């Protein structure tokens, strides 16, 4: 059981940092020299090096987004794009350098590994440090390695998919990631293999001003079933850091993938992520996205429904306290008949925090039988908080059933009064109501996370009612 996987939001107890021990650290700022250094450190093929350099040129010419959160304080020249904490990948926990092991011990990872999980990739700064995979999965042909290993050991498979769903030209931060990506996971599940336990990965940004640019690729072959969980933290520094990740997921015919994220970056991280899934016939993609930390998050997990009767959903929780802006949501693009989608967003804004929902549901003219439901509920716990909703529906076919609803408000006086009349204190009543508010999504989280999240809410309620 994770004791403190997700810390109380008030006292960020993962704000400790280890003195940087690194084998290689690039100078701050971005240039083709830095990109080439990264590629050389990883001993990459020419084609990957060229891919990175081309992406860098795209990044340099692309403008910043004209919408969304305020990114004006982000200075690309001030960030260090690569830090490599040790020379190689370990397969046995005891071989990992002591300082790094200590960080992960404090985060509770080895306990988890001992307990149930299928395989753990723990990422410290820019390299994936430690991974292990249950023998059973190995025998079934499941591949769960770092992205670097994937490129090296499964080159053809990776190259067939890498960058095909989120190409460098997609947006400025995808271009950045494509140029300086490091770390992330590569997962391949063979046809009809059901992975019973969630695959876990853990990220941590340590050195100040380091960017975290992991790149994850998941391929679930026909009829397979896999679940992947990522949790992220960063120590507290006074300067800002950047996390610009890209996740590409290919859900083949009849396959099911669930990707769960519990992001709890410290409040000086810019979290700008592109997550996209391509779903084939009768495939199911489920994003469960928890955004609790960071200074600014811009993230809209998407499902592109390419196959007939495919289904995609985004279940999103966002929490913003003073100094935070969570700009999150989801996209569903229906490109085949009888497709279905669901986006459920539950957000909580307190202090002077701001939560924004941004989403898209799109159905072109020739698609028949598309069904979509979007529900955005926002709770504002303080009078200084702010909540926005910016959905967009582009519906070009009559053969559809599209629904959208959004509600904003504070905790209901009547509900509060009722619970207090039953003997609960105001704090207990609020905490219960908030837990009920989040319940539809929290119940989809792996049990350890769900319990932690509920505990966090209670702790948070102790301080900030009204």
Q: Which residues bind another protein (CB under 8 A)?
A: 365, 378, 380-410
Rounded CA gap, 318 and 297, in Å? 10
- What would you report as the CA-atom Rg of the chain, rounded to the nearest whole angstrom? 21
Residue 400 Cβ vs another protein, minimum distance, rounded to whole Å: 6
DSSP string, 124-139: ETTEEEEEEE-HHHHH
| C-beta atoms surrounding 192 within 10 Å | 13
Give 80 or 376: the residue with its C-beta nearer to another protein: 376
Q: How far is the CB of 339 from another protein (least distance, A)?
A: 15
**CB of 98 or CB of 392, closer to another protein:** 392
* Cβ neighbourhood burial of 386 (10 Å; 0-12, 13-18, 19+): middle
Q: With respect to another protein, which residue has the nearer C-beta, 394 or 443?
A: 394
Min dist CB 376 to another protein, Å, is 9
- Our CB check for another protein shows the closer of 393 and 420 to be 393
Q: Which two tokens stand for residue 335?
A: 């490109």
Kindly state the tokens that stand for 445: 């989280």
Shortest Cβ distance from residue 383 to another protein (Å)?
5
The full DSSP string for 225-282 is EEEEEEEEE----SS-EEE--EEEEEE-TT-EEEEEEEEE--TTEEEEEEEEEEE-TT
What is the rounded CA–CA span in Å between residue 55 and residue 176?
7
Residue number, 172 or 331, with CB nearest to another protein: 331
* Smallest separation (angstroms) from another protein to the CB of 68: 14
Q: Which helix (H) or strand (E) holds 84?
A: strand 83-84
Which CB, 135 or 413, lies closer to another protein?
Answer: 413
Distance CA 9, CA 464 (A): 11
Phi and psi based region of residue 295 (left: phi greater than 0; alpha: psi -120 to 50; beta: remaining): alpha
Q: How far is the CB of 345 from another protein (least distance, A)?
A: 12
Nearer to another protein, 406 or 451 (CB): 406
3-state secondary structure of 351: coil
> For residue 160, what are the contacts with CB-CB under 8 A and spacing of at least 6?
none
Nearer to another protein, 156 or 413 (CB): 413
Q: How far is Cα 348 from Cα 265, in angstroms, rounded to an integer?
A: 17
Q: How far is the CB of 426 from another protein (least distance, A)?
A: 16
Residue number with CB closer to another protein (13 or 365)? 365
Q: How far apart are CA 253 and CA 255, in angstroms?
A: 6
- How far apart are CB 416 and another protein at their closest, in Å? 13
| Shortest Å, Cβ 418 to another protein | 18
What is the spatial distance between Cα 53 and Cα 32, in angstroms, rounded to a whole number? Answer: 6
């Amino acid at each position: 059981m994770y004791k403190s996987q997700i810390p109380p939001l008030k006292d960020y107890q993962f704000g400790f940092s280890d003195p940087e021990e690194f084998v290689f650290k690039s100078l701050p700022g971005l240039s083709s020299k830095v990109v080439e250094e990264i590629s050389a450190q990883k001993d990459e093929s020419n084609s990957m090096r060229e891919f990175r350099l081309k992406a860098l040129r795209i990044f340099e010419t692309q403008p910043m987004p004209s919408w969304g959160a305020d990114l004006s304080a982000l200075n690309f020249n001030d960030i260090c794009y690569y830090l490599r904490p040790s020379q190689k990948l370990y397969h046995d926990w005891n071989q990992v350098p002591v300082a790094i092991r200590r960080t992960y011990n404090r985060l509770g990872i080895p306990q988890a590994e001992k307990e149930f999980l299928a395989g753990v990739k723990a990422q410290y700064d820019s390299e994936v440090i430690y991974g292990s995979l249950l023998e059973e999965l190995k025998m079934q042909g499941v591949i769960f390695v770092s992205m670097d290993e994937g490129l090296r050991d499964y080159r053809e498979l990776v190259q067939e998919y890498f960058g095909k769903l989120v190409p460098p030209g997609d947006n400025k931060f995808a271009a950045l990631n494509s140029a300086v990506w490091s770390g992330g996971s590569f997962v391949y599940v063979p046809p009809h293999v059901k992975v019973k336990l969630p695959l876990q990965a853990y990220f941590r940004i340590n050195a100040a001003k380091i960017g975290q640019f992991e790149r994850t690729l998941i391929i679930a072959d026909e009829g397979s079933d896999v679940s992947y969980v990522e949790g992220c933290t960063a120590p507290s520094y006074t300067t800002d850091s950047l996390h610009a990740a890209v996740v590409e997921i290919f859900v083949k015919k009849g396959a099911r993938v669930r990707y769960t994220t519990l992001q709890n970056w410290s409040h000086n991280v810019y979290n700008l992520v592109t997550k996209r899934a391509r779903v084939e016939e009768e495939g199911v993609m489920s994003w469960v996205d928890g955004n609790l930390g960071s200074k600014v998050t811009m993230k809209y997990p998407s499902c592109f429904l390419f196959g007939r009767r495919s289904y995609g959903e985004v279940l999103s929780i966002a929490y913003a306290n003073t100094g935070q802006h969570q700009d999150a949501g989801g996209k569903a693009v229906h490109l085949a008949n009888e497709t279905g989608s669901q986006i459920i967003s539950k957000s909580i804004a307190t202090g002077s925090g701001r939560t924004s929902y941004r989403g898209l549901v799109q159905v072109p003219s020739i698609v028949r039988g598309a069904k979509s439901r979007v529900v955005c509920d926002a709770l504002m716990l303080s009078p200084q908080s702010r909540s926005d909703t910016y959905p967009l529906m582009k519906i070009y076919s009559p053969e559809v059933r599209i629904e959208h609803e959004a509600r904003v408000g504070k905790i209901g006086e009547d509900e509060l009064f009722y619970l207090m009349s039953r003997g609960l204190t105001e704090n207990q009543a609020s905490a219960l109501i908030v837990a009920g508010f989040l319940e539809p999504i929290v119940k989809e989280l792996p049990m350890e996370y769900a319990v932690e999240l509920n505990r966090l809410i209670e702790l948070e309620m102790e301080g900030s009612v009204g």
